[in-house]
Structure 1
C-alpha cells in the first residue's frame, strides 16, 4: 500500500520536474552500439577474408601444380613421350607443360612462359614458383628440377585462381551478413535486459519525486541495476522517516506558537473589552511580556537552526584557548545559576603531574576553531542544564585535552538524567521536548539539535551520557586540534 505525500495532492505528475533533454534511449543506444561493433567486426573479417581468399586460392593452386611437377620430374626419362602426354595433363583448367632438358633445351606448350631467370634457377636445381605470360594471358608458373638434371614446368591461367577466389568470396558474404544480423538481435536482447530495470527504477524515482511514498523498486537484473533499486528503497524509507519527523516537528512548532499566541490574544481582547481591573494591569503586563519573550526565544532558536542549515554558513577559525573561553562562560552563568539555587563549577585542566591546587594556573588548551560559535555551543548546553537541574544540585563545565590532539568540553548537571531511549533521540529536533513537556521544564525543543549541528560544522562532535558523575546528563563536545605552527 502506497502513501502519497500531502504536498503532492492535486499536483500534476510533471510539476517541478525539469523537462528532459531529447536523447536516445539506453536500449536504442545499446542496439546501435552493438550493431556498429558487429558491422566493424564484419567489415574487418570480410576484409581479411577477401585478401585471404585470393592468397589461399593461389597458394593452393601452386601447391597442386608443384606436386604434379615434382611427380613428373621424377619420371625416368624427361623425353618426347612425356612431352606428347602434356595435352592429356592439361585438363579443363588449361594447364600447359614444358620439359627443360639437362642441356638447357626446352620444349612444350608452356615454353613461351619460361624466362631466362627461371631456366637458370631450374638448371641450378632450384624450384621455381612465379607468374608468367603465356599467349597474352597471365599464368601461374611452377617448375621442379629432376633428380638427374632437367626440369618440368607447369602453367595454369591465373583466371582459374580468380574464378575460385570469387566463388569463395561469394560464399563468405552470407555468413558475414548472418553474423551482423545476429549481433544486432543479441544487442537488442541485451539492451532490453539492461534497460528494463533502469526504466523501472526511473519510474520509481519519478513517483518519489512526485511525493508518493512506500514505492518499492525491484532489485533484480544486473548487479548495478539491483544496487540502484536498493538505493531507491533506502531513499524511500529515509524520506518517509524524514517527512514524519518533519511533520511531527511542525506540529510541535505550531503547538508551541499557539500556546503563547492564545495567551496574548486572550489578554489583548480582555484589555480591549475593558475586562481587566486596573490593579491587575501590572500583572497582565508581566504575563504578556513573558509570553512575548517565550515567542522571541522560540523564533530565535528556529532562526539559529535555519542559519546552521544554510549553505553559506561561515566560520571564523583562529587559534582559541578553550580554558579561557570556558572560564569566561562559567563567570557569565554563575549569577543565573545562583538565582536558581544551582552551584555552577568550572573544572579547568591542570598541567600533567601537577597537584590540584586552586591557586595554580590552569593549563591552556588551544585548538583551531571559531571562538564565538564554541561559546554559543557552551551557552546552549549550560542553559539546557540549568533548566532541568533542581536547586541544591551542581552544574559543571570542564575542559581538557583530548587523546590524539584537540579538546573535550563537558557540561554535566545534577538533574534527572536521560534514559537509554532518550540518548538515542536526544539531538533530534523536538524529541525530548515532546516527551517531557508535561514532566519537567523544557525549552523550545531545538537547543540540542542546534548544538549537534553546530558541533558538526566546527569539525567535531557532541555526545551525551544519560547519567554522569553528578547524576544527571553529561554532554561531551570533541573539537579537532589546532593546526601545526607555520
Structure 2
C-alpha cells in the first residue's frame, strides 16, 4: 500500500468515525427534542387556553351572555365553552367534558386542567373558578397541539442537517490534520528502508504523532551513525586483510616462478605461514564478534570456581609472557570463589584481555591478572606496563578497530577487534567492563565485574 492510499484510507476512516459519532449524537438529541416538542407544544396550548378561561371567568356576565345565546367560540381554533353554575348545573356546548370531579373542583375554587373526548375527538380541558361561585371551562381540539408540534418539528430538521454537515466537515479537517504528518512519517520510513539518509519528519500534529516523527528522526540519525561505523569497520577489515594477502601472494608467485629457490624456500614458507596465521586469527575474531552479536548466542551456565579458573589461565599466560620476557603476575584469593556463570566464556574474556596486554607491554615490564570477590560475583582485572590509554582512547576503547586505526605504525596492534569482543562477552555474561588509562604498573587497566547468573545475562547489547 502506498502512502497516498494509506492517507486516503485514514482520512475516510476518521471522517466516517466523526460523522458516525456526530450522527449518533444528533439522532439522540433529535429523538429527545422530538418527544420534548410534543410536550412543550401541549404545555403552550394549555397555558394559552387556561389564560383565556381565567379571563372569561372574571367576567361572568360575558360568559353567561355567550352561553344564553348558545354561541361557541369556534373560529379556526374550535374552542368550546361550558359554564358551571353555583348550583352545580352545567351548561354549554362543552358540558359533556365536565365530569363530577371537575365540577366539584371548580365549585371548591380550584382550577381544572385535563384531557377529555368531545364529539369523537380528544380535546384539552382548562377550567377556572368564577368570583360568584361555579366556574368556566374551555376546550380546544388536540389537533391544535398536533399542528404546533408539526411546525416545531419541521423547524428542527434544518439544524439537524446542518449539525451532520458540520460534523462531516470537522471530521475531514481533523482527518487531514492527523493524516498529513502520518503520511509524511510513512514516506520517510519508506525512504529510510530504501537507503536514504539525512531525511527528517517535521514534528507537527498531536503529541503522539510528533513523538512518532521524533522517533523516525532519531532512527535516521542512528542508522547514519551505524552505517558510518560499518563502512569504517569494512575499510579497516579490508586494510587488515589486504596486507597479509599481498605478502602471501607475492611469496606464492615468487615460489611459483622459481624466483625463490634453494635455501630461501624454508624462509619463504615461514613467512607464508605467519601471514596465513594472521589472516586466520583475524577471521576468527570476526566470527567470534558475529557470534556474540547474534540473538541466539548461547551460554552454558554452571557453578564456576573463578579462583581455580584464574589459576589455570595464569599458568598458560605465565609461559607465554616468559617467551616475550614479560613479567607475568597473578593476584587471586587462594580460596574458592563460586558464582553461576559460563566458565568457558569467562576464560575467553581473560585470554582476550591478556593477549591485548601482552601485545603492548615491552620486555621487562609486567602484566597482572587479578581476581577478588565483589558481592555475590567477582571482579577481574588485567593491568599492564605498556604505554597506557589517553582520555580520548578510553572513550573509544571498545569500538571495533578504533585503537588499531589510531595506533597503527605507532605501537603493536592486532585485528582491532579484541576489546570489542571483550565488551560483548562481558555484556553477555551480565557484567560490565571498564577501562582506565593508568594502572599502578603504568599501562592500561581493564576491570570486569562479573555477577552471578541472573535474568539479565542474555539481554541484547547495543553495539559500541
TM-score, normalising length from structure 1? 0.87
Structure 1 residue corresponding to 2:393, chosen from 403, 412, 422: 422
Structure 1 residue corresponding to 2:319, chosen from 335, 342, 357: 335
Q: How does 1:72-83 map to 2 (within 5 A)?
A: 72-75=56-59, 80-81=64-65, 83=67
* Residue 431 (structure 1) aligned with residue 415 (structure 2): no
For residues 476 and 282 of structure 1, what CA distance do their matches in structure 2 show? 43
1:195-226 Cα shifts (integer Å, max 9, x gaps) = 11221122122111111112222123333332
For residues 355 and 259 of structure 2, what CA distance do their matches in structure 1 show? 37
Q: Is the 8 A contact 2:4 2:183 kept in 1?
A: no
Q: How does 1:112-191 map to 2 (within 5 A)?
A: 112-123=96-107, 126-146=110-130, 149-191=133-175
Tell me the equivalent position of 1:352: none
Q: How does 1:291-370 map to 2 (within 5 A)?
A: 291-349=275-333, 361-362=334-335, 364-370=336-342
How many residue pairs match? The answer is 454
Tell me the equivalent position of 1:13: none
Structure 2 residue corresponding to 1:276, chosen from 252, 257, 260: 260
Residue 208 and residue 98 in structure 1: after superposition, are their counterparts in 2 closer, same or farther (change >3 A)? same
Structure 1 residue corresponding to 2:379, chosen from 382, 386, 408: 408
The Cα shift of 1:301 comes to 0.7
Tell me the equivalent position of 1:239: 223
Structure 1 residue corresponding to 2:16, chosen from 9, 29, 32: 32
SS at match of 2:356: helix
Tell me the equivalent position of 2:348: 376
TM-score, normalising length from structure 2? 0.91
1:74-94 Cα shifts (integer Å, max 9, x gaps) = 456797236358857555311
Q: Which runs of 5+ in 1 are unaligned?
A: 1-17, 350-360
Q: How does 1:215-294 map to 2 (within 5 A)?
A: 215-294=199-278
Residue 462 and residue 20 in structure 1: after superposition, are their counterparts in 2 closer, same or farther (change >3 A)? same
Structure 1 residue corresponding to 2:360, chosen from 388, 392, 401: 388
The Cα shift of 1:338 comes to 1.2
For residues 86 and 190 of structure 1, what CA distance do their matches in structure 2 show? 68
CA RMSD of aligned residues (A): 2.5
Q: Is the 8 A contact 1:78 1:101 kept in 2?
A: no
Residue 148 and residue 301 in structure 1: after superposition, are their counterparts in 2 closer, same or farther (change >3 A)? farther
The Cα shift of 1:406 comes to 3.1
Residue 108 and residue 313 in structure 1: after superposition, are their counterparts in 2 closer, same or farther (change >3 A)? same
Residue 154 and residue 79 in structure 1: after superposition, are their counterparts in 2 closer, same or farther (change >3 A)? closer
